[in-house]
Amino acid sequence: MKLLLMGPPGAGKGSQSKKLVEAYDLQSISTGEMFREAYKKGDPMGEKAMEYIRQGELVDDELTNRVVRERLSHERPDARFLLDGYPRTVNQARALDKILTEKGTRLTAVINIVVDKEVIIERMAGRRVCRQCAATYHTKFRPPRVENVCDACGGDLHQREDDKPASVRNRLNIYESKTRPIIDYYKGRGFLINIDGEQSFEKVFRDIQRALRDLT
């Protein structure tokens, strides 16, 4: 099984990805996480990516495609994985097709989490992330047991630089102009599943599970 999780920033991709990875025994491949990890390690690739990320811009296609190609080069054609946050441009979607075709494989399904703009803004404003283990919380919808302390590892919670209001607006505009067109790209290929993301964490997950069951 090879899944792709799509949706605007703040739609709940990371939250659902965590559950899907466990339930279906998938490797999680998140380009956003890969960039943040590389930056934390002082890797020049991470430093370069962070220059874009801080501004709420997309990292350039050339670098992003290279990182994904390298990551997937270690995988066998039958590898089970979930891509979260990649592709984000039609150019990246084409690059991914090429990588998978070269391996003699293809995506199983593209899950598109649909959420309205107002909901996204509220979700991103309240998102808090653990500095240590990257677990995600929300001040209102998923608060930690102790304020600003990660339930999982006791680490500090913080607001991502790119979740500040100026950057959020930019990211939403970029989503509309560069990422939304991918939906049509996949619709044309017949593996697009739209999921209503404006429901509880559990209901969104159940809907995804049901849609995946219907595929088989």
Q: Is 69 a catalytic residue?
A: no
The listed partner (ligand ADP, ligand AMP, none) that binds 2, CB under 5 to 8 Å by sort, is none
Is 28 strand, coil or helix? strand
CB of 178 to ligand AMP, least distance (A): 9
Pairing mode of beta strands 127-130, 136-138 = antiparallel
When asked if residue 56 is in the footprint of ligand ADP (CB under 6 A), the reply is no
Q: Does residue 76 have an active-site annotation?
A: no
Q: Which of 127, 145, 189, 210 is catalytic?
A: 127
Q: Which residue bears the tokens 């849609």?
A: 211
Q: Which two tokens stand for residue 125?
A: 């404003």
Residue 127 binds which entry of ligand AMP, ligand ADP, none, CB below 5-8 Å type-dependent: ligand ADP
Residue 17 three-state SS: helix
Q: Is 149 helix (H, G, I), strand (E, B) or coil?
A: strand
10 makes contact, choosing from ligand ADP, ligand AMP, none, with CB < 5 to 8 Å by partner type, with ligand ADP
Is residue 64 within the footprint of ligand AMP (CB under 6 A)?
A: yes
The Cα diameter of the chain in Å comes to 48
CB 63, CB 48: distance < 8 Å: yes
- Tell whether residue 17 is a contact of ligand AMP (CB under 6 A): no
Q: Which is nearer to ligand ADP, 32 or 46 (CB)?
A: 32
For the segment 44-63, give every residue that binds ligand AMP (CB under 6 A).
52-53, 57-59
Query: How many Å apart are CA 194 and CA 197, to the nearest integer?
Result: 9
Tokens of 90: 């039609």
Beta strands in 85-162 (DSSP E): 109-114, 127-130, 136-138, 157-158
- Out of 200, 213, 214, 216, the only residue in the binding site for ligand ADP (CB under 6 A) is 200
Binder to ligand AMP among 8, 12, 85, 197 (CB under 6 A)? 85
What residue ranges in 31-180 does DSSP mark as E strands? Answer: 81-84, 109-114, 127-130, 136-138, 157-158
Considering the complex, what minimum distance in angstroms separates the CB of residue 57 from ligand ADP? 16
**Residues at the site binding ligand ADP, with contacts judged by CB under 6 A:** 7, 9-15, 123, 126-127, 136-138, 141-142, 200-201, 204
